């Protein structure tokens, strides 16, 4: 899918250049031919007049009716004014047509999606404008009109599908956030943990070269990394003291529980969420859990969330520990590059640390409020 999108972007870039050349060329032709025609009216130069007439006639021969202005009068001035006017209108419509496509293609070549109601409207207006010169060049005029109407309706339909897809995505996101909040409330991860992990994951994914759209999928999916904790008994999750080996083993099962909870899901975000839930405690050195996967057997999404989750756990206060200083947590992540964490993700973490630190401060857990003394 992503490959197809890159191809579309490349082709759009090429078409954008062609459409731009058409715009520049038609503007040049409008200015050049009009200027030559006007000069030839005032300057009685036989060669110039012959050149202008030949060019206008050659243009006229392309249409069914031709530039009949050339035929209606023996008077040079009348013929040239009518012929040049037709030339002007035809080229102006073609230029307008190419201009609208230029704008749309520019967006697509940058990876933006062009399917909006405004673009559909622009294409519709463009196709109506093409009808303006139906009397001069009916075949070209009708062809441009039909193509314009077809593409305009295609854009309308694509806009409708986009809106539907956005609605579905919005519902999916709301459900993910609600489920993440349930997990948050059940475990020790108070405050903004899930939001910060999601934001860190997006920054890391972007730093690793994912597109914004892909990074958003990882961001949403990361919110469910601990979804399996829903199946871990609350008595263990909420236990304030040290855990027994059995209790710790039960907590570790949240990864396999997450995998099972999400096993029948469909859709990009939830499929990614299942991968993350299962693999966010794996380590490149094989000492992670639940499967002891090594290096490339762990998905990049799992590796990203592993760094985001641990960095946030270290810099957050828990019932059993104080929050680490951000520099200490940073050093801990770097120290474990290649063993606990994937090297490329740690590099991305180091390179994007300013953004990560900003997120940590922006989404910090609420501090207990100090009440102002009341006057008695």
Residues near Fe ion, by CB under 5 A: 226
- Decide whether 226 or 250 has the Cβ nearer to Fe ion: 226
In the complex, the smallest distance separating the C-beta of residue 276 from Fe ion, rounded to whole angstroms, is: 9
- Decide whether 71 or 188 has the Cβ nearer to Fe ion: 188
CA pair distance 246, 77, nearest whole angstrom: 101
CA pair distance 124, 168, nearest whole angstrom: 28
CA pair distance 136, 134, nearest whole angstrom: 5
In the complex, the smallest distance separating the C-beta of residue 356 from Fe ion, rounded to whole angstroms, is: 19
| Residue with nearest beta carbon to Fe ion | 226
Helices (H), 110-211: 117-130, 138-186, 193-207
In the complex, the smallest distance separating the C-beta of residue 258 from Fe ion, rounded to whole angstroms, is: 8
In the complex, the smallest distance separating the C-beta of residue 163 from Fe ion, rounded to whole angstroms, is: 36
The H or E element spanning position 88 is: helix 76-109
- Decide whether 226 or 259 has the Cβ nearer to Fe ion: 226
> Can 229 be counted among the known catalytic residues?
yes
In the complex, the smallest distance separating the C-beta of residue 18 from Fe ion, rounded to whole angstroms, is: 52
- Decide whether 226 or 312 has the Cβ nearer to Fe ion: 226
Instruction: Decide: 102 and 19 in contact? Cβ < 8 Å.
Output: yes
Residue in the structure block whose two tokens are 């005032």: 42
In the complex, the smallest distance separating the C-beta of residue 280 from Fe ion, rounded to whole angstroms, is: 6
- Decide whether 104 or 342 has the Cβ nearer to Fe ion: 342
Token readout for 206 is: 């972007």
Instruction: Decide: 270 and 227 in contact? Cβ < 8 Å.
Output: no
Q: Which residues contact 207 (CB under 8 A, 6 or more apart)?
A: 348, 349, 351, 352
- Decide whether 34 or 256 has the Cβ nearer to Fe ion: 256
Instruction: Decide: 302 and 288 in contact? Cβ < 8 Å.
Output: no
Q: Which residues contact 188 (CB under 8 A, 6 or more apart)?
A: 237, 238, 318, 319
- Decide whether 226 or 279 has the Cβ nearer to Fe ion: 226
In the complex, the smallest distance separating the C-beta of residue 180 from Fe ion, rounded to whole angstroms, is: 12
Instruction: Decide: 362 and 354 in contact? Cβ < 8 Å.
Output: no
**CA nearest to 298, candidates 251, 264, 339:** 339
CA pair distance 106, 202, nearest whole angstrom: 26
Q: From the candidates 229, 239, 252, 343, give the one annotated as an active-site residue.
A: 229
Burial 136-173 (b: 16+ CB within 10 A, else e): bbeebbeebbeebbebbeebbebbeeeeeeeeebeeee
Active site residues: 229
């Amino acid at each position: 899918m992503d490959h197809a999108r890159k191809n579309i972007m490349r082709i759009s870039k090429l078409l954008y250049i062609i459409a731009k050349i058409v715009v520049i060329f038609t503007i040049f032709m409008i200015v050049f031919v009009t200027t030559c025609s006007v000069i030839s009216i005032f300057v009685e130069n036989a060669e110039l007049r012959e050149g202008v007439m030949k060019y206008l006639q050659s243009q006229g021969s392309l249409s069914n009716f031709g530039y009949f202005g050339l035929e209606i009068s023996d008077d040079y001035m009348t013929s040239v004014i009518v012929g040049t006017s037709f030339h002007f209108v035809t080229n102006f419509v073609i230029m307008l047509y190419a201009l609208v496509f230029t704008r749309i293609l520019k967006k697509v070549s940058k990876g933006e999606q062009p399917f909006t109601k405004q673009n559909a409207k622009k294409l519709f207006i463009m196709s109506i404008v093409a009808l303006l010169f139906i009397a001069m060049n009916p075949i070209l005029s009708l062809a441009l009109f039909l193509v314009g109407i077809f593409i305009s309706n295609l854009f309308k339909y694509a806009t409708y599908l986009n809106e539907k897809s956005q609605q579905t995505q919005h519902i999916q996101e709301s459900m993910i956030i609600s489920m993440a909040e349930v997990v948050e409330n059940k475990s020790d991860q108070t405050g903004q943990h899930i939001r910060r992990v999601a934001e860190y994951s997006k920054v890391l994914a972007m730093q690793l070269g994912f597109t914004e759209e892909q990074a958003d999928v990882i961001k949403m999916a990361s919110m469910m990394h601990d979804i399996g904790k829903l199946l871990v008994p609350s008595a263990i999750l909420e236990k304030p003291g040290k855990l027994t080996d059995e209790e710790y083993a039960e907590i570790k099962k949240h990864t396999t529980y997450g995998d099972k909870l999400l096993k029948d899901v469909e859709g990009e975000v939830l499929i990614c969420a299942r991968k993350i839930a299962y693999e966010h405690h794996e380590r490149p050195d094989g000492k992670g859990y639940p499967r002891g996967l090594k290096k490339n057997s762990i998905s990049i999404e799992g590796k990203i969330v592993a760094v985001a989750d641990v960095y946030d756990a270290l810099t957050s206060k828990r019932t059993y520990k104080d929050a680490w200083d951000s520099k200490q947590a940073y050093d801990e992540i770097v120290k474990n590059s290649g063993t606990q964490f994937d090297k490329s993700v740690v590099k991305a973490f180091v390179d994007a640390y300013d953004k990560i630190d900003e997120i940590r401060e922006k989404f910090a857990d609420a501090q207990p409020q100090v009440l102002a003394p009341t006057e008695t």
